[in-house]
Amino acid sequence: MNQQHAIVIGAGIVGLSMTRALHAKGWKVTVIERHPQAQGASVRNFGMIWPIGQEQGPSYNRAIHSREIWLDMSQKAGFWAEKTGALHLAYTDLELQVVAEYVAAMKHQKSAHQLTPEEVLQKSPATVQQGLKGALWTEEEMIVDPREAIAKTGQYLESLDGVTFEWGKAISRIEGNTVYSGQKTWSADKVFVCSGADFETLYPELFEATPITKCKLQMMRLVQQPQDWRIGPPLCAGLSFIHYKGFHVAPSLQQLKEVYTAQHKELLDLGIHVMVSQNGLGELTIGDSHEYGLNFTPFDTKHINDLILKVLKTFAQFKDWEIGSSWHGIYPKMTNGATEFVHQVDEVVTVVNGMGGAGMTLSFGLGEEVVASI
């Protein structure tokens, strides 16, 4: 039988995950990426592989499976990855109650421990101890540096037999089983469109008919910390409890939301919840804000970055606060609560998109599921 051939459009984490899964099933794959290297959401994030953010059930299981693939990929492609776990810090009795409820609900399901302030300090020297009531400690989370991990995963896949990358080629049209970029064309049995925030360029009508919006997030990176100083696990605080669906199992969450709505209206309006992760070089990635809509100002707002830093300083302390770079990223997000958009346009073309804020966490697993369903 002839080897089947797939075209993957986009070399972000979704396109790379599809490529990996197709190759594993014996497909020949041609990846076509508009830029000389991936530069969308997949290289602009925290690099948090974050099962704790997912609801229990299929999403959580997909996150855990994706995490195994990340660990395997870091070995094969040779990039830094660390099994860090995660600390969610509690500075009020209500936040601590949410921690306790989450730990109780997760008993016999997954790792979730309530730590005392002393135990928190042992895990991370970067936590603000004043007023600390305790923390949630979970073990499954891990960190990669997205800039390195996405580039090296692409290089690794490109080295495999039967996988070809066409960098710097924007696909402007898809007709039948043929895709077009200027004078160049490629044909295959199947086409997977993994174009991230650029969904509407190739499929404007479908984009309009899909329950999807976009989200702009502001981020910063602090310089390498001196003397190889490490913060330990990524740190989050109370605002993250109300951001992630994983915490919905805590009955007091609603009350916490009401308290934050009264106390931190501006932060909530700007979608600010603050997290920090450290990469292998010792730099600290911090963020973020969440502005939803289809049209964003291209300019970043200093006020938002100032608010992020202000919140961060309530729970984290570092050796060096110098900002090395700042940027924003945009991802498409489903508005109907779905964790992804997998849509068969016709016999040949499938759109894989809509990963929202969890594409790094879920895509490797999703890629295998999509390929298994072909």
Residues at the interface with ligand FAD (CB under 6 A)? 9-15, 32-35, 38, 40-42, 44-48, 50, 170-171, 194-198, 201-202, 217, 219, 287-288, 329, 331, 353, 355-361
State the burial class of residue 233 (Cβ atoms within 10 Å of its Cβ: 0-12, 13-18, 19+).
buried
CB-nearer residue toward ligand FAD: 35 or 303: 35
CB-nearer residue toward ligand FAD: 268 or 358: 358
Q: How far is the CB of 212 from ligand FAD (least distance, A)?
A: 12
CB-nearer residue toward ligand FAD: 13 or 115: 13
Whole-number Cα distances in Å, 189 to 6, 10, 152, 186, 237: 6, 17, 27, 11, 48
Using CA atoms, how far apart are residues 73 and 67, in angstroms rounded to an integer? Answer: 10
* Residues present in the chain in total: 374
Q: How far is the CB of 95 from ligand FAD (least distance, A)?
A: 22
CB-nearer residue toward ligand FAD: 133 or 214: 214
351 and 343 Cβ atoms separated by less than 8 Å? yes
Rounded (10°) angle between helices 13-24 and 146-158: 30
Q: How far is the CB of 198 from ligand FAD (least distance, A)?
A: 4
Using CA atoms, how far apart are residues 118 and 285, in angstroms rounded to an integer? Answer: 25
Q: How far is the CB of 153 from ligand FAD (least distance, A)?
A: 11
Order of strands across the sheet with 81-82? 48-49, 142-144, 81-82
Order of strands across the sheet with 184-187? 173-175, 178-181, 184-187
Of 259, 355, 277, 310, whose CA–CA distance to 63 is shortest?
355
Q: How far is the CB of 179 from ligand FAD (least distance, A)?
A: 8
CB-nearer residue toward ligand FAD: 170 or 206: 170
State the burial class of residue 254 (Cβ atoms within 10 Å of its Cβ: 0-12, 13-18, 19+).
exposed
CB-nearer residue toward ligand FAD: 48 or 90: 48
Residue type for 248, please? H
CB-side exposure of 203: number of CA atoms within 13 Å?
Answer: 25
Q: How far is the CB of 263 from ligand FAD (least distance, A)?
A: 25
Q: How far is the CB of 217 from ligand FAD (least distance, A)?
A: 4
CA angle 311, 362, 207 (to 5 degrees): 90
CB-nearer residue toward ligand FAD: 53 or 134: 53
- Looking up tokens 């989450």, which residue turns up? 102
Q: How far is the CB of 316 from ligand FAD (least distance, A)?
A: 17
CB-nearer residue toward ligand FAD: 167 or 321: 167
